[in-house]
């Protein structure tokens, strides 16, 4: 098949493109939080100046969202997080870790679901939770280190996406073309197994010819994992992928 490029209007959130409301909202909240912490430090003084560190964390994360820079988190190809990045945004990472573990303690949602015979979808797994007999793992988190230990012997692929957002459709298309092999059983996960997973799983369904269009792909994902709902930007990406594969 000849190389094709998704039309420029589908490049969401890049320079010269339409601003991404999901990223702008998340980035704005982080920057507002940073401003609030700085305000407290100035107002209280003394020990409160310690709040400058998490304020700087939130500023960095806010800019990561505004400018779509998941590499701020330092996620490496092997699933680890670079030590320098970890030290720089440690308060944010610790808060994220605490929220994730608290959420899982009260969640009744299974860690993963089988979407098709060859595609499984779910949240970030604890070392003992990985589904057996998988050939490839697609890790969409940028904010977490990938679990090791009892992880199955499968090809690991890191594709960092900021939580609650999407990615460039051409970048996703190129990634799937590079790592997806015929007959491979693939497990796709993000932190909670919802928006980012729905985006990439729906795109993979379209690539493999298992869904007719974006609506069909989204419905297939939600039928097995009801909370896997895409945001506005994520939906646009799947629609762009559907147009590409329809014309391939």
- Which two structure tokens, joined as six digits, stand for 244? 């590409």
d(CA 136, CA 200): 14
Residue with tokens 């589908």: 10
- Encode pLDDT of 50-94 as tens digits: 999 999 999 999 999 999 999 999 999 999 999 999 888 899 899
Please calculate the CA angle 118-232-130 and round it to the nearest 5 degrees: 30
pLDDT, tens only, 180-194: 987 899 999 999 999
Quick check: 14 pLDDT over 60?
no
* Residue range 238-247: mean pLDDT, rounded: 92
Extended beta strands in 147-203, E state: 155-158, 186-189
pLDDT at res. 48? 87
d(CA 248, CA 244): 6
23-45: average pLDDT: 90
What pLDDT sits at residue 3? 36
Domains contained in the chain, CATH given: 70-82+110-246 (3.90.190.10)
Identify the residue whose tokens are 């940028």: 142
* 15 phi-psi bin (left φ>0, alpha ψ -120 to 50, beta other): beta
Per residue in 103-156, pLDDT tens?
999 999 999 999 999 999 999 998 788 888 899 999 999 999 987 766 677 899
- What is d(CA 147, CA 74) in angstroms, rounded to the nearest whole number? 16
**Percent helix, strand, coil in the chain (nearest 5)?**
50, 10, 40
- Could you tell me how many residues make up the chain? 248
**What pLDDT does residue 150 have?**
62
pTM, two decimals, is 0.86
């Amino acid at each position: 098949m000849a190389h094709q490029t998704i039309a420029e209007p589908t490049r969401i959130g890049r320079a010269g493109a339409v601003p991404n409301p999901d990223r702008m909202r998340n980035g704005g909240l982080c920057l507002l939080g940073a401003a609030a912490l700085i305000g407290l430090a100035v107002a209280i003084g003394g020990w409160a100046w310690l709040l400058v560190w998490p304020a700087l964390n939130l500023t960095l994360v806010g800019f990561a969202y505004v400018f779509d820079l998941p590499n701020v988190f330092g996620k490496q190809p092997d699933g680890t997080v670079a030590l320098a990045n970890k030290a720089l945004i440690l308060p944010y990472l610790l808060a994220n870790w605490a929220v994730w573990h608290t959420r899982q303690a009260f969640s009744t949602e299974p860690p993963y679901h089988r979407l098709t015979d060859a595609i499984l979808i779910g949240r970030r797994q604890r070392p003992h939770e990985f589904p057996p007999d998988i050939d490839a793992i697609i890790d969409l988190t940028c904010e977490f280190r990938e679990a090791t230990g009892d992880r199955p012997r499968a090809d690991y692929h890191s594709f960092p996406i900021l939580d609650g957002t999407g990615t460039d459709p051409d970048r996703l298309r190129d990634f799937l073309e590079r790592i997806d092999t015929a007959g491979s059983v693939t497990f796709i996960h993000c932190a909670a197994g919802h928006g980012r997973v729905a985006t990439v799983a729906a795109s993979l369904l379209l690539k493999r010819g298992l869904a007719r269009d974006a609506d069909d792909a989204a419905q297939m994902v939600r039928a097995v994992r009801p909370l896997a709902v895409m945001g506005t930007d994520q939906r646009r990406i799947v629609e762009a992928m559907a147009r590409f594969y329809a014309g391939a």
